[in-house]
């Protein structure tokens, strides 16, 4: 309180000047019709500008909720796609029963942190054990693959990016031929598909998909496009240089792929 009084007494002349100016302005506006009309119109214009700015700010703040709603709708539509369903159809005599059950769920997530760019890139998402996120689950974006969950806590998970030298993903062509996708730690725009038989005809521009064999990503998830192929002498195989369909180091809105059959398939693989 003493500080406030000291400031007032020290700058008393200034505060008195400001008060008199405001009083004069009030008297001019209150007792002169033309000035009163001008002030009213000016206030109306300024108030409209302030209101417009406020509405713009409010709309901007609502964008996050709208984006999350759209992403949840995309996840729902992904879950209804043929690649996310498991066919249990059966044909008995002339009777055909076409039945599908859910195989993959898609959980929306945000990238909340990522490692500096390096040969082994990782990122952190805001989903964890509380939403049944587990190590080994795939992470995708609307335009491509992002990585594989490595470690999980209650509310977060660490993801090994597709741009991580230890990642291996089953990938192939629309014809059914497939190999192993990996990154060499250099250019983040390109990955390599190895172990593809050398007699398979491949053209530049062919699309590379996930095969679903690794139980990490659904089948036919677009990964990228063939840029070049090179036969490996003496191996009977060829390597494909593939341009990624997305930019994994820039992704912020992603989906966790939850394979509902993974435990069952893992049990069969270990027997």
- Claim to verify: residue 208 and residue 115 sit in the same structural domain: no
Residue 228 lies in a domain: yes
- The CATH number of the domain where 126 resides is what? 2.40.10.340
Per-residue pLDDT reduced to its tens digit, 141-196: 988 999 999 999 999 999 999 999 999 999 999 999 999 999 999 999 999 999 99
pLDDT at residue number 42: 60
Q: Cα(46)–Cα(106) distance, rounded to whole angstroms?
A: 48
Residue 156 lies in a domain: yes
- Claim to verify: residue 132 and residue 191 sit in the same structural domain: no
Stated pTM of the model:
0.66
For residue 49, is it left (φ>0), alpha (ψ between -120 and 50) or beta? Answer: alpha
Find, among 132, 149, 74, 141, the residue nearest to 110 by Cα.
Answer: 141
pLDDT at residue number 60: 53
In 10 A of CB 220, how many CB atoms?
14
Total structural domains within the chain = 2
Q: Cα(262)–Cα(264) distance, rounded to whole angstroms?
A: 5
Per-residue pLDDT reduced to its tens digit, 20-61: 677 766 666 666 666 665 655 565 555 545 555 555 555 555
- Claim to verify: residue 125 and residue 224 sit in the same structural domain: no
228: containing domain: 169-246
Across 52-211, the runs of DSSP E, i.e. the strands, are 85-87, 90-92, 95-97, 100-102, 104-114, 120-125, 138-141, 144-152, 157-164, 169-172, 178-182, 190-197, 207-210
């Amino acid at each position: 309180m003493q500080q406030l009084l000291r400031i007032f007494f020290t700058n008393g002349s200034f505060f008195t000047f400001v008060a008199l100016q405001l009083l004069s302005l009030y008297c001019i506006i209150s007792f002169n019709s033309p000035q009163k009309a001008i002030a009213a119109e000016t206030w109306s214009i300024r108030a409209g500008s302030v209101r417009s700015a406020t509405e713009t700010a409010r709309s901007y703040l609502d964008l996050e909720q709208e984006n999350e709603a759209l992403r949840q709708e995309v996840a729902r539509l992904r879950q209804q796609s043929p690649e996310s369903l498991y066919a249990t159809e059966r044909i008995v005599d002339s009777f055909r029963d076409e039945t599908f059950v859910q195989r993959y769920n898609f959980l929306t997530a945000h990238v909340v942190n990522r490692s500096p760019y390096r040969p082994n890139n990782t990122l952190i998402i805001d989903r964890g054990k509380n939403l049944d996120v587990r190590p080994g689950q795939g992470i995708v974006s609307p335009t491509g693959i992002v990585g594989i969950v490595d470690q999980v806590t209650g509310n977060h998970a660490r993801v090994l990016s597709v741009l991580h030298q230890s990642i291996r993903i089953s990938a192939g062509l629309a014809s059914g031929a497939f190999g192993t996708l990996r990154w060499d730690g250099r250019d983040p725009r390109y990955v390599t598909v190895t172990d593809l038989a050398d007699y398979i005809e491949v053209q530049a521009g062919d699309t590379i998909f996930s095969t679903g064999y690794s139980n990490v990503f659904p089948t036919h998830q677009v990964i990228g496009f063939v840029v070049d192929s090179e036969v490996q002498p003496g191996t009977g195989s060829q390597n494909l240089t593939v341009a990624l369909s997305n930019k994994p180091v820039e992704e912020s809105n992603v989906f966790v792929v939850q394979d509902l059959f993974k435990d069952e398939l893992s049990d069969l693989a270990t027997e």
